Structure 1
């Protein structure tokens, strides 16, 4: 199996997500061409083994997939493969969640929101979001597949060198800054639009100041973040 083929198949590992094995069935499907065997018994056993419960951030799952391909080709013992399979689930999940779901995705959405508020057409705004988000998503997925196939079981040094946790922190810090920018723009629009009650403009000022004073309270998913989202929607669709 080539890295390019594995990269493409990695996009569909979530298609068969289920509560029993999570991404396990998707992992087995992604590795399917590698697991084919003339013996139906051996092929069935391999598919069952790789269908065991597995969970990771989908953008980093390619790192595990690539490593599994390398171990399979190198003839690594089945029990060693199983231990590796179990060991990488937590780190790949937490690193990906911190970098993407809590960092880059909210930041990309905030940039798109700012673009919309300053007058960019909705279709162009959607394109801005897609281009910005995938500028990290696609290279990250490709890096994972390539690194996994090159390093095999030795992916830990590559993960450490990539400094994904630190990039996640920086991305979240940028998100806090963008919340302040968006909040400021919404406050200005609220004062200018007389059809919007002044109470909402005052609320926007409060959220904006709160975000500058203690940014973590207005992260997406927190009460402050939800309040800002509500204010954004109110001002966006106000007559």
Structure 2
């Protein structure tokens, strides 16, 4: 006689997994000292750059002050896991890396699941690298160099030329870092929309046009000041310009504009010092 199978006792039910807390609608209010520490660390984000993880250690270094606010405080499990997560491979422009630092801090303090943070962190690398290179290295740096060259052509001394270049360039990159950190903290994992900012989208084009205009005014003035009334020197300058134009044409695509602009500025500053 076959007995009817009796249902097994399901036993104690597993404890339900609590859902992840939703992101906060407003950014986490970081203490002023923490924000200041993060910003100062952003200035040294490349100090530990290496070929293996690039900016990875720098990202971890910059996020560390805010990670102390995680449950358990400094040295707690959440702090250690987050710091290890953000010290891995990361590649971006060093100035726009501030966007990633702010966004990752916001995601951690909002309690976003680690798997989502890691995917988000990986996705940030490409856009922050390409946008920053086009805006800073290909546009802002050559423009600032040509402004310094214009100052030389207008009769400024070496100190004013170098000082003018450094002040203008650093105002731009400090502002870019500050904006990146602020927008990252405000938007968190929704920061992608901020990369559509008109300055980031159209800035390279605007700056290239401004650099062309500035260069058109700066080069004749600088050459006029360098040549003076000497015909022999004038012939040498003309020959140098022709040779340089041929080399740049031949090296098209293999030479970067900012290197050419910096080289020209350095040459005229050196000339003004030796004359």
TM-score by length of 2: 0.72
Match of 1:19 among 51, 56, 69: 51
Q: Is there any run of 5+ residues in structure 1 with no aligned partner, and where?
A: 211-215
CA distance 1:196–1:179, change in 2 (3 Å): farther
Q: What is the match of residue 164 of structure 2? A: 128
Shift, 1:84, TM fit: 0.9
Q: Deviations over 1:38-69 (max 9, x none)?
A: 55555433222111111111111111111011
Match of 2:146 among 110, 118, 125: 110
Shift, 1:163, TM fit: 3.7
The worse-fitting range, judged by mean Cα deviation, of 128-137 and 201-210 is: 201-210
How many residues of Structure 1 are paired with residues of Structure 2 in the alignment? 232
TM-score by length of 1: 0.82
Q: What is the match of residue 40 of structure 2? A: 8
Q: Deviations over 1:123-181 (max 9, x none)?
A: 22222112211222122111111100000011121221344131111112222222222
Q: What is the match of residue 219 of structure 2? A: 183
Partner Cα distance (1:40, 1:195) in 2:
74
Match of 2:178 among 142, 151, 154: 142
Q: What is the match of residue 201 of structure 1? A: 237
8 Å CA contact 1:70–1:150 kept in 2: the answer is yes
Q: What is the match of residue 204 of structure 2? A: 168
Partner Cα distance (1:114, 1:40) in 2:
55
Q: What is the match of residue 213 of structure 1? A: none
Partner Cα distance (1:53, 1:100) in 2:
22
Partner Cα distance (2:43, 2:226) in 1:
42
User: 1:73-92 counterparts in 2 under 5 A?
Assistant: 73-92=109-128
Whichever of the two has the greater Rg, that structure is 2
Q: Is there any run of 5+ residues in structure 2 with no aligned partner, and where?
A: 1-29, 247-251
Partner Cα distance (2:178, 2:213) in 1:
29
The worse-fitting range, judged by mean Cα deviation, of 60-69 and 169-178 is: 169-178
8 Å CA contact 2:104–2:188 kept in 1: the answer is yes
Larger % of helix: which?
A: 1
CA distance 1:124–1:233, change in 2 (3 Å): closer
RMSD of aligned Cα (Å): 3.1
The worse-fitting range, judged by mean Cα deviation, of 63-72 and 170-179 is: 170-179
